Amino acid sequence: MLSCKDVTQLISESMDHSLPLGKRIGVRLHLLMCKFCLRYERQLLLIRETVRRFVATEEKPGGAPGETLSEEARERIRKFLRNPQTALDKGCGRPTEEAGAAGD
Amino acid sequence: MVKPANHDPSDWVDRYGDYLFRYAMLRLRDRFAAEDLVQETFLAAFKDRGSFSGGSSEATWLVGILKHKIADHFRHQAREAPLEDNDLRDQPDSSPFDGSGHWAKGPTDWGGNPEDLYREQKFLDQLAKCLSGLSPNHAKAFTLREIEGADTGEICKILNVSETNLWVILHRARMQLRRCLETHWFNRSTEEGA
């Protein structure tokens, strides 16, 4: 007989691969009798669905506004794209020692 | 006059910089690393711009490069900080189960009709916070699986773990994330009092 602890592990696994038939049946039978595990499964699926929907809306250029590159990074990348060959020759890392960087 | 196959790289940062940055931030939750990967993406795109066929949009092409950079970043981190025993072991003090494997405290009813959660910025902020609270390996596995949508075989290679261990990691990650959201979002009104 599967415990709730076993069932939560199997619910998660079923989101990553298809369970062998015996386990699948064990989980379904358990869920018929256990409202907590049933709730647990629904909540994991809700989290998955919410993340997917959000990712789908987010991933369009010019889509949802949100965080932006810092001015510093923007300028650094711009500089590189204006003069790529020099940047490639020098290596295009973040400056290791920033002039005027103050401690806290 | 023949149009060039792709846009002028000098306006890439204005056209795609923020878009790529948000894409990276969603997966890394680390501003510094995200900015670096965006920069590396433009660098690689510039070197490889001859290979852009124009078959897909420029944005799709750039995101494809960024995806690889993100996977490399995770792969590198996994080498630096390999899996720990704690990533797989039960955390006795935080287990929601009693000794016989029954719920000691079951999930609470989240109520209502939370289908539109993905539009609620505050919920998404909380989700990001909860993800940051996971152990790094748990957070990475969850990110690759649920945000990036990678299949488990691919994730095993990136994180250098067996499939069985990955299932355990994902289980732990989901369980902790669920509980964090329950505490800080779904039950927040009772928590804050009124």
Domain B9-80 is found in CATH 1.20.140.10: no
B97 phi and psi angles, rounded to 5 deg: -110, 150
- What ipTM is given for this predicted complex? 0.86
Task: Write the residue in B19, B43, B146 that is nearest to A51 by C-beta.
Answer: B146
3-state secondary structure of B103: strand
User: DSSP strand E in chain B: where?
Assistant: none
> Does the CB of A45 have a partner CB in chain B at under 8 Å?
no
Q: What is the pLDDT of residue B149?
A: 94
Q: Are the C-beta atoms of residues B74 and B140 closer than 8 Å to each other?
A: yes
Q: What is the pLDDT of residue A10?
A: 98
The amino acid at residue B79 is R
> Does the CB of B88 have a partner CB in chain A at under 8 Å?
no
3-state secondary structure of B97: strand
In the numeric block, the tokens 């910025």 are attached to: B121
Q: What is the dihedral of CA B189, B190, B193, B194, to 10 degrees?
A: 60
| pLDDT digits 0-9 by tens, B60-73 | 899 999 999 999 99
Q: What is the pLDDT of residue A87?
A: 61
Percent of chain A with pLDDT over 70: 73
Q: What is the pLDDT of residue B151?
A: 95
Q: Which fold has domain B85-192?
A: Arc Repressor Mutant, subunit A (1.10.10)
Give the domain ranges of chain B: 9-80, 85-192
| pLDDT digits 0-9 by tens, B155-188 | 999 999 999 999 999 999 999 999 999 999 998 8
Q: Are the C-beta atoms of residues A54 and B118 closer than 8 Å to each other?
A: yes
DSSP symbols for B111-135: -S-GGGGGG-HHHHHHHHHHHHHS-
pTM for the whole structure: 0.84
pLDDT averaged over chain A? 82
Percent of chain B with pLDDT over 70: 89
**Nearest chain B residue to A10, by CA:** B171
| pLDDT digits 0-9 by tens, B146-157 | 999 999 999 999
Q: Which residues of B fall within a CB distance of 8 Å from A43?
A: 107, 110, 178, 182
Please give, rounded to a whole number of angstroms, the shortest distance from the CA of B10 to a CA of chain A.
Answer: 5
**φ/ψ bin of A87: left (φ > 0), alpha (ψ from -120 to 50), beta (otherwise):** alpha
> Does the CB of A6 have a partner CB in chain B at under 8 Å?
yes
More confident residue, A3 or B58: A3
The C-alpha atoms of residue B35 and residue B45 are separated, in whole angstroms, by 15
Residue in B22, B100, B88 with CA at minimum distance from that of residue A67: B22
More confident residue, B147 or B93: B147
